[in-house]
Homo-oligomer: A and B are copies of this chain.
């Protein structure tokens, strides 16, 4: 069996996460038992939700256990199989985590799914065609439920979720406005993603300034918002929300480091009769086929052209992940392992 390199969570962050929270170890992949498959990972997905898992305490999911391989989505190739449904050479999507190989018990539901690389490149199944794309779809279609002509806003607009959201919103005739960090991302959001406007949050680091920027970018107010960030951005969106606005809460990356991140004006939820709803897309597996079918058609027609930032080699994963948390990535952050 091949040698496997793995990255474990070694200790929990005290404030911001650091490379010292992780540890690289080398191990032997175990001999397969019946019903198991050995997958060699081609790409590892890095996603903001992982930061939440690094903390202890009550959350929507079990915290990432210490001393175990960091959780994460992976795409790769079956190299050995003791399950009749999989053959060596099959390209598969799974949650193999931060390691080069994984042994998968195929009997667990959704543990491993074959993917069709004639529809899209393998890596897209970690981004636009995978969890981030379906996340954008769920928030837009099931929570925001926009009508054509309505204004929707998305924070982290150029990320894997944000760019899929932009394409899905445009396909519904919405006026889509983004929020992103820095002039390059904002230029890309408008010129490549086709957003009506993009607000550089670095130029608007407080509530008052962000509110003013949103007022200018959304002169008719905000009908729907997809929140990836939290903090003063969410406060400002609430101020500019139209009556009966819907806010899908997907992430609050601004608060993941443990600093208190209050919502300053929750009374606006009442004033503007806002619906605000948090969700985790993995809890809605019945909707994935419908979502992925639409995402595949947007990819096929060129209306969704995901940008990727690719780090090389497993050992680069911690630095790439910390960069993602600071917005250093541009589009979907991946680690190429092979």
Using C-beta atoms within 8 Å of the partner chain, give the interface range for chain A.
20 to 34
Report B-chain residues with C-beta under 8 Å of the C-beta of A65: none
For the complex, is A133 an interface residue (Cβ under 8 Å from B)?
Answer: no
1/0 per residue, CB under 8 A from B, across A62-102: the answer is: 00000000000000000000000000000000000000000
Report B-chain residues with C-beta under 8 Å of the C-beta of A261: 266-267
- Shortest Cβ distance from residue A27 to the other chain B in the assembled complex, whole angstroms: 33
1/0 per residue, CB under 8 A from B, across A238-278: the answer is: 00000100000111100100001111111101111111111
Decide: A276 and B273 in contact? CB cutoff 8 A.
no
Main secondary structure of the interface of A (DSSP, over half): loop
For the complex, is A234 an interface residue (Cβ under 8 Å from B)?
Answer: yes
For the complex, is A3 an interface residue (Cβ under 8 Å from B)?
Answer: no
Decide: A270 and B249 in contact? CB cutoff 8 A.
yes
Report B-chain residues with C-beta under 8 Å of the C-beta of A279: 270, 273
Q: How far is the CA of A260 from the CA of B266 in the complex (A)?
A: 10
Report B-chain residues with C-beta under 8 Å of the C-beta of A278: 269-275
Interface centre among A60, A270, A272 (most CB of B within 10 A): A270
1/0 per residue, CB under 8 A from B, across A33-65: the answer is: 000000000000000000000000011100000
For the complex, is A130 an interface residue (Cβ under 8 Å from B)?
Answer: no
Which residues of A approach B to under 8 Å, CB–CB? 58-60, 230, 234, 243, 249-252, 255, 260-267, 269-280, 283
| 7 smallest beta-carbon distances between A and B, as pairs | A270-B278, A262-B262, A263-B263, A263-B266, A275-B277, A269-B278, A252-B267
